[in-house]
Chain A
Amino acid sequence: MSTDVKTMPQEQLVAANGVKLPIYMDNHATTPLDPRVLEEMLPYFMEKFGNAASRNHSFGWAGEEGVETARERVAKLVGATTKEIIFTSGATESDNLAIKGVAEMYKEKGNHIITAVTEHKAVLDTCKRLEKYCYRVTYLPVQKDGLVDLDDLKRAIDDKTILVTIMAANNEIGVLQPVAEIGKLCRERGVIFHSDATQAVGKVPVDVNKQNIDVMSISAHKMYGPKGVGALYVRRKNPRVQISAIIDGGGHERGMRSGTLNVPGIVGLGKACLICMEDMPKESCHLAGMRNRLRDNIMGRLDEVYINGSMEHRLPGNLNISFAYVEGESLLMGINDVAVSSGSACTSATLEPSYVLKALGTGDDLAHSSIRFGIGRFNTEAEIDYVADRVVETVQRLRELSPLYEMAKEGVDLKQVKWAAE
Chain B
Amino acid sequence: MSYSDKVLDHYSHPRNVGSMDKGSTDVGTGLVGAPECGDVMKLQIKVNPETSVIEDAKFKTFGCGSAIASSSLATEWVKGKTVDEALQIKNTDIVKELSLPPVKIHCSVLAEDAIRAAIHDWKKKRETAKPETVEARS
Q: How far is the CB of B93 from chain A (nearest CB, A)?
A: 17
The interface-forming segment of B38-46, B48-56, B81-89 is: B38-46
User: Which secondary structure dominates where chain B touches chain A?
Assistant: mixed
Give the CA-CA distance A158 to B134 in the complex, in Å. Answer: 78
The interface-forming segment of A24-32, A215-223, A363-371 is: A363-371
- Answer yes or no: B60 CB below 8 A from chain A CBs: yes
Q: Which of B23-50 contact A (CB under 8 A)?
A: 31-42
List B contacts of A406 (CB < 8 A): 19, 42, 60
B64 touches A329 (CB 8 A): yes
Q: Given A364-B36, A406-B42, list of 18 further CB < 8 A pairs? A: A327-B39, A327-B67, A329-B64, A330-B65, A333-B11, A344-B38, A345-B38, A351-B103, A365-B36, A400-B17, A401-B61, A402-B60, A402-B62, A404-B40, A421-B34, A421-B37, A422-B37, A422-B106
Chain B residues within 8 Å of chain A by Cβ, number: 33
List B contacts of A325 (CB < 8 A): 62
- Answer yes or no: B117 CB below 8 A from chain A CBs: yes
Task: List chain B positions with a Cβ less than 8 A from chain A.
Answer: 1, 3, 8, 11, 14, 17, 19, 31-42, 60-65, 67-68, 103, 106, 109-110, 113, 117
Give the CA-CA distance A334 to B11 in the complex, in Å. Answer: 8
Give the CA-CA distance A353 to B36 in the complex, in Å. Answer: 9
Q: Which of A345-363 contact B (CB under 8 A)?
A: 345-347, 351, 353, 363
List B contacts of A345 (CB < 8 A): 37-38
B63 touches A327 (CB 8 A): yes
**Residue of A330, A333, A364 touching B35 (CB-CB under 8 A):** A364
**Residue of A334, A364, A403 touching B61 (CB-CB under 8 A):** A403
B63 touches A330 (CB 8 A): yes
List A contacts of B63 (CB < 8 A): 327, 330
Give the CA-CA distance A333 to B8 in the complex, in Å. Answer: 9
**Residue of B1, B62, B117 touching A403 (CB-CB under 8 A):** B62
- Answer yes or no: A326 CB below 8 A from chain B CBs: yes
B68 touches A422 (CB 8 A): no
Q: How far is the CB of A305 from chain B (nearest CB, A)?
A: 16
Q: Can you pick out 27 interface pairs between chain A and chain B where the beta carbons lie within 8 Å of each other?
A: A327-B38, A327-B63, A330-B64, A330-B65, A333-B3, A333-B8, A333-B11, A334-B11, A344-B64, A346-B64, A347-B1, A364-B35, A365-B36, A401-B61, A401-B62, A401-B68, A403-B31, A406-B60, A419-B33, A419-B36, A420-B31, A420-B32, A420-B34, A421-B33, A422-B33, A422-B106, A422-B109
List A contacts of B67 (CB < 8 A): 327, 330
- Answer yes or no: A285 CB below 8 A from chain B CBs: no
List B contacts of A13 (CB < 8 A): none
- Answer yes or no: A382 CB below 8 A from chain B CBs: no
Give the CA-CA distance A351 to B103 in the complex, in Å. Answer: 8
Give the CA-CA distance A330 to B31 in the complex, in Å. Answer: 19
List A contacts of B34 (CB < 8 A): 419-421
- Answer yes or no: A414 CB below 8 A from chain B CBs: yes
Give the CA-CA distance A345 to B67 in the complex, in Å. Answer: 13
Q: How far is the CB of A47 from chain B (nearest CB, A)?
A: 41
**Given contacts A403-B60, A422-B109, is CB(A368)–CB(B38) below 8 Å?**
yes
Give the CA-CA distance A328 to B23 in the complex, in Å. Answer: 32
Give the CA-CA distance A353 to B63 in the complex, in Å. Answer: 13
Q: How far is the CB of A363 from chain B (nearest CB, A)?
A: 7
**Residue of B8, B31, B61 touching A402 (CB-CB under 8 A):** B61
Closest 6 CB pairs of A and B: A419-B34, A365-B35, A403-B42, A364-B36, A403-B60, A368-B38
